[in-house]
């Protein structure tokens, strides 16, 4: 059985190679492909398959399942993506996606998850709203609604007669007019939200968060691939390791920074990992294979949800993520897709039986007509009509 592994890279990545090797142990061949490799007209794809330690070109029918990166869902690929949605099973069809603000609002409505919500509001065209929000909470975070990987995230703090604005490792002091200019040029109508600042910092004062990376397993259930701490060493805003920082294992970090609270915090994180992914699927009303949940932990051990990433990096957990994904591939092929084929086969059988019934009814009616008196009386006329046609 062949499945697709769709990414935007021209050259297959190391993760693609590792996925291919592990999938072979499950009896599954992986074809590496890009959106442009799909031929909508013929229902085929051109890709690469890993054979004898090298990627070999191949053309085949559209795979019944495709592990697709959310980054493939670009405007230029819209026709291909729609075709894939209608003709194959995608690891995430990206329907009903939730931005940061929508997710916070939805979770706020659910008592099971409302405690995770950080006070959030959208930045509109009025600068006064930022003033009010900053005055209320003292310190706030400004971030793009559709942003990822910590890009464009600022921290704003109200001082007595001025403001402090920080991004990455840079921080500057602004007066009222300078902040207003910053709002007009960088935030207004740019799709930003503002949140209450949560003091999630190490004992040395560095910002951190906990990335809870979950994957579907061989039973189609959510499990933790790895929970780890991301520390933004020297940063002013968030624990963005892409901008400089480090990663720590969860247990030793909690022990060093929270002491006796470590056990309670770990239980909270594990509970979140086993419940929130199902809520996300419920809200989106679709199936998902992979999620990265970014969680803040304040000094009292309370958890807050920063955001949920539908395309979490696998760099810190390549082996764990790939192993779980290959098990999930097998589950999909043996259960979901097999069930769908059975349903299609049953539907075909039902339609065939209806056609057979209709055929039998028509034959019966035809035989009844042939045996009828009117049919027998008009037989000579029909024979004469046929003879005349032959002489024309």
pLDDT in tens, 110-124: 999 999 998 888 887
Sole residue written with tokens 């910053």: 182
**Is the confidence at residue 340, as pLDDT, over 60?**
no
For CA atoms 85, 86, 87, 91, the dihedral sign is positive
SS3 label, residue 192: strand
Q: Which strands, in side-by-side order, build the sheet including 208-216?
A: 246-249, 222-231, 208-216, 290-297, 303-309
CATH of domain 119-197: 3.30.1490
Which residue from 252, 254, 208, 257 is spatially nearest to 230, judged by alpha carbons?
Answer: 208
**61-73 tens-digit pLDDT:** 999 999 999 999 9
Check residue 122 and give its pLDDT: 85
**Cα 70 to Cα 3, 176, 344, distances in angstroms:** 17, 40, 28
Q: Do domains 2-96 and 97-117+198-313 have the same CATH topology?
A: no
> What are the pLDDT digits (tens) for 184-225?
888 888 888 888 988 888 888 888 999 999 999 999 999 999
**Considering only the top CATH level, what class is 97-117+198-313?**
alpha beta
Q: What is the pLDDT of residues 269-316, one digit of tens each?
A: 999 999 999 999 999 999 999 999 999 999 999 999 988 999 899 999
Task: Report the Cα 229 to chain-centroid distance in Å.
Answer: 22
**β-pairing verdict for 222-231 and 208-216:** antiparallel
Please say if the pLDDT value at position 37 is more than 60.
yes
Q: Three-state DSSP class for 146?
A: coil
H or E element in which residue 251 lies: helix 250-258
CA-CA distance, 366 to 317, in Å (whole number)? Answer: 71
Q: Which residues pair with 229 in a beta bridge?
A: 210, 248
Fold entry, domain 2-96: Rossmann fold (3.40.50)
Confidence of residue 347 (pLDDT cuts 50, 70, 90): low
Q: Please, which residues have CB within 8 angstroms of residue 314's CB and are 6 or more apart in sequence? A: 15, 321, 322
Q: Delimit the domains of the chain by residue range.
A: 2-96, 97-117+198-313, 119-197
pLDDT of residue 14: 94
The model's pTM:
0.77
Are 226 and 293 contacting, i.e. CB atoms less than 8 angstroms apart?
no
Of the candidates 81, 76, 73, which has an alpha carbon nearest to the alpha carbon of residue 38? 81
**Contact between 202 and 259 (Cβ < 8 Å):** no
Spatial separation of the C-alpha atoms in residues 156 and 158, rounded to whole Å: 7
**What is the rounded CA–CA span in Å between residue 247 and residue 213?**
14
The predicted-structure confidence for 73-104, as pLDDT tens digits, reads as follows 999 999 999 999 999 999 999 999 988 888 98
Report, as an integer, the average pLDDT of 221-233: 92
Q: Is the pLDDT of residue 361 over 70?
A: no
Predicted confidence (pLDDT) at residue 244 exceeds the cutoff of 60: no
Query: How does pLDDT run across 146-163, given as a tens digit for each residue?
Result: 765 567 888 899 887 888
Res 355 pLDDT > 70: no
Taking the C-alpha atoms of residue 208 and residue 231, their distance in angstroms, rounded to an integer, is 4
Inter-CA distances, 7 with 58, 130, 216, 309, 329, Å: 16, 39, 19, 17, 17
- pLDDT of 390 above 90: no
pLDDT at position 345 is: 52
Closest to 240 in 3D by CA, of 143, 320, 318, 153: 153
In the 8-state DSSP scheme, what is residue 118?
A: P
Q: How many residues does the chain have?
A: 392
d(CA 267, CA 75): 41
């Amino acid at each position: 059985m062949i499945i697709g592994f769709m990414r935007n890279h021209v050259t297959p990545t190391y993760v693609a190679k590792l996925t291919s090797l592990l999938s072979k142990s499950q009896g599954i061949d992986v074809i590496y492909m890009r959106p442009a490799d799909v031929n909508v007209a013929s229902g085929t794809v051109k890709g690469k398959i890993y054979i004898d330690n090298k990627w070999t070109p191949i053309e085949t029918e559209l795979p019944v399942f495709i592990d697709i990166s959310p980054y493939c869902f670009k405007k230029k690929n819209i026709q291909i993506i729609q075709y894939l949605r209608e003709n194959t099973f995608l690891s995430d069809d990206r329907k009903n996606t939730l931005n940061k603000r929508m997710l916070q609002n939805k979770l706020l409505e659910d008592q099971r998850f409302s405690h995770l919500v950080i006070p959030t509001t959208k930045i509109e065209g009025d600068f006064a709203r930022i003033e009010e929000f900053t005055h209320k909470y003292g310190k706030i975070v400004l971030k793009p609604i559709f942003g990822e990987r910590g890009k464009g995230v600022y921290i704003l703090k109200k001082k007595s007669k001025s403001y402090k604005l920080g991004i990455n490792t840079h921080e500057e002091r602004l007066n009222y007019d300078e902040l207003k200019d910053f709002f007009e040029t960088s935030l207004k109508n740019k799709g930003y939200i503002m949140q209450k600042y949560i003091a999630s910092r190490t004992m040395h004062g560095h910002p951190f968060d906990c990335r809870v990376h979950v994957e579907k397993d061989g039973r189609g259930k959510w499990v933790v691939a790895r929970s780890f701490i991301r520390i933004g060493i020297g940063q002013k805003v968030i624990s963005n390791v892409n901008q400089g920082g480090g990663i720590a294992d969860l247990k030793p970090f909690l022990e060093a920074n929270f002491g006796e609270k470590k056990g309670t915090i770990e239980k909270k994180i594990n509970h979140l990992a086993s419940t929130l992914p199902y809520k996300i699927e419920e809200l989106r009303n679709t199936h998902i294979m992979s999620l990265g949940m970014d969680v803040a932990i304040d000094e009292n051990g309370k958890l807050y949800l920063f955001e949920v990433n539908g395309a979490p990096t696998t760099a810190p957990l390549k082996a764990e993520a790939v192993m779980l994904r290959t098990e999930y591939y097998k589950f999909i092929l043996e259960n979901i897709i097999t069930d769908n084929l059975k349903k299609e086969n049953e539907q075909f059988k039902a339609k065939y039986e209806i056609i057979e019934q209709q055929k039998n009814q028509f034959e019966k009616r035809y035989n009844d007509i042939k045996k009828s008196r009117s049919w027998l009386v008009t037989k000579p006329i029909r024979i004469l009509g046929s003879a005349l046609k032959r002489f024309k």
